[in-house]
Amino acid sequence: MKTWAKVSIAVAALGGIAAAAALLSLKGKALLPSATEQWAPVPRVVDPFKYLDSPEPDAVRLFDGESLAEWINSNDRGPASWAIADGVVTVHKPSGNIETRRSFRNYRLHLEWRVPAGITGKGQARGNSGLFLASTGPGDEGYELQILDPWENPTYANGMAGAIYKQHAPLVNPGRPPGEWNVYDVVWTAPVFAPDGKLTAPARVSLHFNGVLVQDNVMLAGPTVFAGQPVSKPHGPAPIKLQAHGDPSAPISFRKMWVLELP
Ligand code: MG
């Protein structure tokens, strides 16, 4: 065999070995356990006993028991004038809804609310209020998580406490009787709209009601409405709103409220 032929065969053989080695190496790398390990970002350490009932350092304290500085009247945009006493704020029905000065997109929110002992009325006319997860107007426009006396108070299931009003009934009813505090821990994922206004990702909600999961990442058909079907309209970051419902029953109260923005 001529020298050039021997060299060619040697080169070809070496090339084949190199290619096979590279393939084995790639294959080996793909099979390494470390290839599928995620090391960052590191979930931060939290105190499990405080996590659910005290605000995290970077949470916005919406109500601290003393001031409604974070809130305005939804109608006249002036200061929120609901009554504060003993660390508790009580709905003032004649002055209407209140909403946060700030706007939010995605967040985790903690809210405590209480129907007064001795409440009267029935169904939707007993301790009705609401937490609008994103407000899109001064009245009841937006996405309402219902607040209502949950104790021995029959009404339509998708309008009871813990319901996404007229869209999703709660999975169970862990509500406490009038005079006792109820706790909502909400995760809100805002809807996403394309530049042309088309809905590209619907809003989603999870809710723990008194520590019990009652809404499991449910998808909203659009804003909640009293009559008819939801119609999606594009909007950006929005205030959080509390409802002054017009029923004649005694007003409900709120205490700790805080919100932590999420990506
Ligand atoms: Mg309501």
Residue 263's Cβ-count burial label (10 Å; 0-12, 13-18, 19+) is: exposed
Q: How far, in Å, from the CA of 245 to the mean position of ligand 1?
A: 6
Of the candidates 53, 189, 169, the one whose C-alpha atom is nearest the C-alpha of residue 111 is 53
> Is the C-alpha dihedral spanning 118, 123, 126, 132 positive or negative?
positive
**How far apart (Å, rounded) are the C-alpha atoms in residues 4 and 61?**
81
**Integer CA distances (angstroms), 223 to 18, 94, 167, in order:** 61, 25, 9
| pLDDT reported for residue 25 | 52
With cut-offs at 50, 70 and 90, classify the pLDDT of residue 5. very low
pLDDT at 45 over 90: no
DSSP state of 167: T
Please compute Rg for the chain using Cα positions. Answer: 27
| pLDDT reported for residue 29 | 61
pLDDT > 70 fraction of the chain, expressed in percent and rounded: 88
Contact assessment for residue 113 and residue 148, using Cβ atoms and an 8 Å cutoff: no
The residues with which 112 forms a beta bridge, in sequence order, are 183
Average pLDDT over residues 59-88: 96
**How far apart (Å, rounded) are the C-alpha atoms in residues 79 and 101?**
10
Q: How far, in Å, from the CA of 130 to the mean position of ligand 1?
A: 4
**How far apart (Å, rounded) are the C-alpha atoms in residues 3 and 93?**
101
| pLDDT reported for residue 26 | 53
Q: How far, in Å, from the CA of 163 to the mean position of ligand 1?
A: 10
Contact assessment for residue 79 and residue 98, using Cβ atoms and an 8 Å cutoff: no
Q: How far, in Å, from the CA of 34 to the mean position of ligand 1?
A: 51
Phi, psi of 61 (to 5 degrees): -80, 110
Q: Per the structure block, which two tokens stand in for 29?
A: 């790398």
Q: How far, in Å, from the CA of 86 to the mean position of ligand 1?
A: 25
Please report the domains of the chain, with CATH numbers, ordered by start residue: 42-261 (2.60.120.560)
Q: How far, in Å, from the CA of 3 to the mean position of ligand 1?
A: 92
Q: How far, in Å, from the CA of 235 to the mean position of ligand 1?
A: 22
| pLDDT reported for residue 14 | 47
Of the candidates 205, 189, 186, 218, the one whose C-alpha atom is nearest the C-alpha of residue 112 is 186
